[in-house]
Chain A
Amino acid sequence: MSRTIRGKVAVVGVGETPYYKRGQSPDAEFKLALDAVINACKDAQFSTKDIDGFASFSNDRNDPSKLANALGCKELRFSNMQWGGGGGGGSGAIANAAAAIATGMAESVIVFRALAQGQFGRFGQGPRSNVVSGAGAYTVPYGLMSPAQSFAMKVNRFMHDHGVKQEALRAISLASYHHAQNNPRAVMHGRPLDEQKYDESRWIVEPFHLFDCCLENDGAAAMLLVDAERAKDFPHKPVYILSALTGAHYRAGASAHNTPDYATSTFKTTSSRLYDMAEVKPSDVNVAQIYENFTGGVLMSVVEHGFCEPDECNEFFVKENLIAPSGKLPTNTSGGNLAECYMHGLGLNIEAVRQVREESTNQVPDADVALVASGPMVTPVSSSIFGSVATL
């Protein structure tokens, strides 16, 4: 099959800034973005001057032309924004960058995301305007305005339909916090979570306790992508993109919660295409990074990526199944958005790369195939599958 990006592009460098609690970055957001790019290039032993493309998502504020200017890139060939809010574009930006390289539009593309919420305001708060119109007018005056509130009704319906218990959500949170204790980069490193602490934590909106909700952080992350042939000349083991794509089901964008298939993470139509392109099955996946805006989104994403039947969630979602190195599906092995850092899911893609490189702080043995699901319950969502050279 010629119409594929499978194996044509590889990640050769990853970089992050330190991760801060929201509002605590000593640097401006643009400086964070630059530092992450520089760190990704250092990791690859690659000159920033030779970057010729940038791809991001979720309306990142750091314009590629300004980045290329500040870095002194010789030429800009590709500047790309994946439409859609939340973290739904985390793997989509990688898909777009890979497509640009595979088709010869650019050679050395940075995928990045930078956030400084102290500088620019928070996600988890309602609007501060005096009036609201359009789609927001059908929800905001009823007190439905934050991301947690926007997704809880989907999760409640899914849990109702399939008899899912609160303990299944708890297991997802416990696994993330478990992994963060081994990851010195994690904001929640040194702050373990147990069942009692979870159960006693306050409700944000049922079924989400405090520990079911992602962090809000400042920081930046970047990865450098090049053609697979060139990738062999870089210092690290190349991590090949086996598949990366975006999508959404029928009328996923309907306003006022009118999406016909409502109780979904939005991956039902994308996951089969993802596996087809990657030429792998769910049982081939060694480790998964599943975007946790909220644990309920992880639950549905795991189901819709074929790892578990919807009616088996209570048996599947137990901590032992979700933790490295020996769980059935080690999930969010950096601590993820719940406990490492909320970098809109790009950190999850970086952790997938680390797993395939065998450099994770929670390494899964023989992690040749790593899957990332980005931004459940928004539209569009995206997923990616990374593989070692053995998978080509």
Chain B
Amino acid sequence: MSYLNPGLPIPVPAADGLDKPYWDAIANDRLVLQVCEDCGTYQWGPEWICHACNSSNLRFEEIEPKGRIYSYERVWHPVHPALKDQGPYIIVLVEFPEQSNARMVGNLIGDPHQEVVIGTPVSAVFEHNNESDPAFTLVHWKVD
């Protein structure tokens, strides 16, 4: 079962091919970030060059799917028809301290009314939406 009701826009790889390795990785339960082969800086979202040294020598590297909550929000008002009967839900911004403090946006699994504490360690939960056309995977988070 998906965290949010189905019907939101389906994420697909960008036409320019830049982020396809990410979508392929998470479909296989692997979390990846872009890292610079020359200076070791991690970045998210993907760019064509490293923001630190401007090298084009970038790759997607698998990381331990763990981070900590940098910020969050509890959403109440539905701004999309698919969310009309959703009720509140939680978005978290998860930071990876070992990877240049890169961050990812996801949902926080569990009670949508739960208290959320900034700094809390969390682990990734891969949500595979295989019934969808096209199929897609999202990366959510649960408190450790």
Where the two chains meet, the residues of A that have a C-beta atom closer than 8 Å to any C-beta of B are 124-127, 129-146, 148-149, 152-154, 156-157, 160, 202-206, 251, 254-258, 260, 262-263
Write the B63-82 contact mask toward A (1 if CB under 8 angstroms, else 0): 00000001111111101100
Q: Tell me which residues across on chain A come within 8 A of B118, comparing CB atoms.
A: 156-157, 160
Q: Tell me which residues across on chain B come within 8 A of A137, comparing CB atoms.
A: 11-12, 14, 19
The answer, yes or no, to whether B93 is at the interface (CB within 8 Å) is yes
Q: Tell me which residues across on chain A come within 8 A of B107, comparing CB atoms.
A: 142-143
Band of interface residues on B = 35 or more
The answer on a CB contact under 8 Å between B91 and A142 is yes
Contact of A156 among B15, B19, B73, B136 (CB under 8 A): B73
The answer on a CB contact under 8 Å between A131 and B11 is yes
The answer on a CB contact under 8 Å between A144 and B91 is yes
Contacts A143-B91, A157-B71 hold; do A133 and B13 have CB atoms under 8 A apart? yes
B89 to chain A: closest residue by CB? A143
Min CB distance A31 to B, Å, is 29
A157 to chain B: closest residue by CB? B71
The answer, yes or no, to whether B138 is at the interface (CB within 8 Å) is yes
The answer, yes or no, to whether B8 is at the interface (CB within 8 Å) is yes
In chain B, residues 1-44, which have Cβ atoms closer than 8 Å to a Cβ of chain A? 4, 8-15, 19, 43-44
Besides A124-B79, A141-B8, A142-B91, 12 other A-B contacts (C-beta < 8 A): A129-B9, A133-B12, A133-B14, A142-B105, A142-B106, A143-B4, A153-B91, A153-B93, A157-B118, A254-B45, A256-B104, A262-B93
CA distance A142 to B138 in the complex (A): 8
Min CB distance B73 to A, Å, is 4
The answer on a CB contact under 8 Å between B12 and A138 is no
CA distance A160 to B116 in the complex (A): 11
Where the two chains meet, the residues of B that have a C-beta atom closer than 8 Å to any C-beta of A are 4, 8-15, 19, 43-45, 51, 70-77, 79-80, 83, 86, 88-89, 91, 93, 101-107, 118, 134, 136, 138, 140
The answer on a CB contact under 8 Å between B76 and A125 is no
Of the A-B pairs whose beta carbons lie under 8 Å apart in the complex, a sample of 8, sorted by A's number, is: A130-B9, A137-B12, A140-B9, A142-B107, A160-B118, A257-B103, A262-B71, A262-B93
The answer on a CB contact under 8 Å between B75 and A143 is yes
The answer on a CB contact under 8 Å between B4 and A205 is no
CA distance A354 to B21 in the complex (A): 55
Q: Tell me which residues across on chain A come within 8 A of B75, comparing CB atoms.
A: 143-144, 149, 205
B18 to chain A: closest residue by CB? A134
Q: Tell me which residues across on chain B come within 8 A of A135, comparing CB atoms.
A: 45
The answer on a CB contact under 8 Å between B105 and A126 is no
Contact of B45 among A157, A202, A255, A260 (CB under 8 A): A255
Contacts A132-B10, A141-B10 hold; do A204 and B77 have CB atoms under 8 A apart? yes
Contacts A143-B75, A152-B73 hold; do A138 and B9 have CB atoms under 8 A apart? no
The answer on a CB contact under 8 Å between A140 and B79 is no
Q: Tell me which residues across on chain B come within 8 A of A156, comparing CB atoms.
A: 71-73, 118
B15 to chain A: closest residue by CB? A133
Contacts A126-B79, A142-B4, A142-B105 hold; do A205 and B70 have CB atoms under 8 A apart? no
CA distance A175 to B118 in the complex (A): 30
CA distance A256 to B102 in the complex (A): 10
Contacts A133-B14, A135-B45, A143-B107 hold; do A153 and B9 have CB atoms under 8 A apart? no
Q: Tell me which residues across on chain A come within 8 A of B51, comparing CB atoms.
A: 251, 254
